[in-house]
């Protein structure tokens, strides 16, 4: 018959292995999460930069209506 101490040591060993496996999985998941955060921040920075050769629309003052232009946006539907 196994001793109580031996049974407890076996359970402790199994629990320690489980903790080590979970810690490893957590490190991998945190690394993936960090890559997603960096990718999102990079995309936001790139989209925030004005493109070369692109016209930057003038900033309207508060309460001021933007001027209408006669040109449509490519892909938009223009009523007749």
Note the pLDDT tens digit of each residue in 60-69.
666 666 555 5
In the prediction, which pLDDT does 65 show?
Answer: 64
Residue 10 near residue 18 (C-beta atoms within 8 A): no
Q: Please provide the average confidence, as pLDDT, over all residues in the chain.
A: 83
Q: pLDDT tens for residues 24-47?
A: 999 999 999 999 999 999 999 999
> Does the residue 75 lie in any domain?
no
Buried b (16+ CB within 10 A) or exposed e, 39-70: eeeeeeeeeeeeeeeeeeeeeeeeeeeeeeee
DSSP reduced 3-state for 55: coil
What is the domain count for the chain? 1
> Does the residue 35 lie in any domain?
yes
Residue 34's domain spans which residues?
Answer: 1-50
């Amino acid at each position: 018959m196994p001793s109580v101490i031996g049974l407890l040591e076996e359970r402790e060993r199994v629990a320690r292995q489980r903790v080590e496996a979970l810690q490893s999985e957590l490190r991998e998941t945190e690394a993936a999460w960090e890559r997603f955060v960096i990718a999102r921040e990079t995309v936001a920075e790139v989209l925030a930069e004005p493109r070369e050769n692109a016209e930057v629309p003038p900033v309207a003052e508060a309460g001021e209506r933007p001027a209408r232009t006669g040109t449509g946006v490519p892909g938009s539907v223009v009523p007749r």
